[in-house]
Homo-oligomer: A and B are copies of this chain.
Amino acid sequence: MSNVDRKRSRTRTRPPAAVTRLSLYLRQAELLQRKGLQFASSEQLAEPLGISDAQVRRDLATFGQFGLRGQGYKLDELIAGIRRVLGTDQRWPVALVGYGNLGRALVGYQGFRERGFEISAVFDSDPAKIGQVTSSGIVVEPAERISERTRQLGIRLGILAVPSSAAQQVTDQLVAGGVEGILNFAPTQLSLPPGVYCVSVDLTVELESLAFLLQWAKK
């Protein structure tokens, strides 16, 4: 490993397993609140998610004291608490790179907006796509402007919806523009400087997991 490589270590801290479940608890808590409940027990949070109540209590206790013994969790406090832990008590402007099929789908994805993630800039390298306007009214800008624009807009999160061949170059531009977190849809390992995080969504891997389960289910 060269010195340069050492600086750009590929190892990235994974969030503890409980963090992804916090998102689920948040969603469920909001659902119960919309149904008119003020309080919910760990069982009410757990059951619809297919998780054990013990797991819910343990997870929530890891991040704070959100409950009231005998009463359960006060939903408005729980929701505010989880949001604070996840960092979604604030808005997050997001840069999207790659305005192909997947990019267009992500621009329109309601789930992001509902959680405070707002795609505020869109980039592509294809001249035919530059200047196009997304359904949300964002003009697609040329990829060369990634660093400049993300810095200008104070963007800390990026979504990578480009082919693997372009992924590393785009990553470098995002990082140069101050981006600290990348949601990566390209099936490739990104090289990142310390302090920059990556979560990858690898659709092929997911489908192969499913094939594995079917393959070995009843044999």
Contacts of A216 in B (CB 8 A): 87
Residues of B within 8 A of A205 (CB): 20, 23-24
Residue of B nearest to A1 (CB): B47
Task: State the Cβ distance, A153 to closest chain B Cβ, in Å.
Answer: 16
- Give the number of copies in the complex: 2
Q: Of B105, B115, B206, which is within 8 A of A201 by CB? A: B206
Residue A166 is within 8 A (CB to CB) of chain B in the complex = no
Most buried by B among A15, A101, A189, A211: A211
Residues of A within 8 A of B (CB): 10-13, 15, 19-20, 22-24, 27, 48-50, 85-88, 92, 94, 100-102, 104-106, 108-109, 111-112, 114-115, 117, 156-157, 159, 180-183, 187, 189, 195, 197-199, 201-218
